Amino acid sequence: MNLYEMKKNTRCFIEGVPNNQLLSIFGIRPGCEICVLTRQPFHGPIVVKHKHRNIAIDKHFALNIDVRLVN
């Protein structure tokens, strides 16, 4: 499943990311754990908490980020 499908307040592990330097810069890499903080209306970004930062990820990126739910 992809990141954009995640509901808010769910925790997940990143399994695969598209080849994009911005994602890597912000630490969105396979293996890292994130928490979905909010989803924005009108196809807006999805805001995740990664370590102690809040990062808004564009829908186009989020659709291509594979994730696995944390049990």
Partner 1 sequence: MDCHVEYDGKFDHKNAVLLIGNPNVGKSVIFSKLTGIHVMSSNYAGTTVQLMTGKMEANKAKVPVVDLPGTYSLQANSEAEMVAVNILNQGGRVIVCVLDATNLARDLMLARELEKFQVPIVYALNLVDVAERKGISIDSKELGRLLHAPVIETVATKNIGIPQLKESIAYFYHASIDSSERLDSSFKTLHDESIDEIVNQVETISTVKQTWIDRIGEAMLRPIPGVPIAMFVLALSLGIVVGGGKALRSLLLLPIVNDFYVPNITALVERFLSEGALQNILVGEFGVLVKGIEWPFALILPYVLLFYFVLSFLEDSGYLPRLAVLVDGLLRKVGLPGHNIVPFIMGYGCAVPAILGTRASTSYKERLILTCLISIGVPCTAQTGAFIALLGDQSILALLFIFILSFGVIIFAGTMLNRWVPGRAEPVIIDVPSLLVPNFSSFMKKIWIRLKHFLLEAEIPMMLGIILAALIFETALIHLLGSWLEPLMVHWLGLPKEASITLLLGIIRRELAVMPLLEMNLSVLQLIVGSVVALFYLPCISVFIVLVKEFKLKVAIYLFLATTTLALLFGGLIHQIGRFVLFLLER
Q: Is 55 in the site for partner 1 (CB under 8 A)?
A: yes
Cβ proximity of 15 and 30 under 8 Å: yes
How far apart, in whole angstroms, are the C-alpha atoms of residue 11 and residue 35?
Answer: 4
| Interface with partner 1: number of residues (CB under 8 A) | 29
Cβ proximity of 65 and 17 under 8 Å: yes
Q: Is 7 in the site for partner 1 (CB under 8 A)?
A: no
Q: Is 58 in the site for partner 1 (CB under 8 A)?
A: yes
Q: Which is nearer to partner 1, 8 or 68 (CB)?
A: 8
Least Å distance between CB 1 and partner 1?
19
How far apart, in whole angstroms, are the C-alpha atoms of residue 7 and residue 21?
Answer: 26
Which residues of this chain interact with partner 1, rule CB under 8 A?
Answer: 8, 21-27, 29, 37-38, 40-45, 47, 51-61
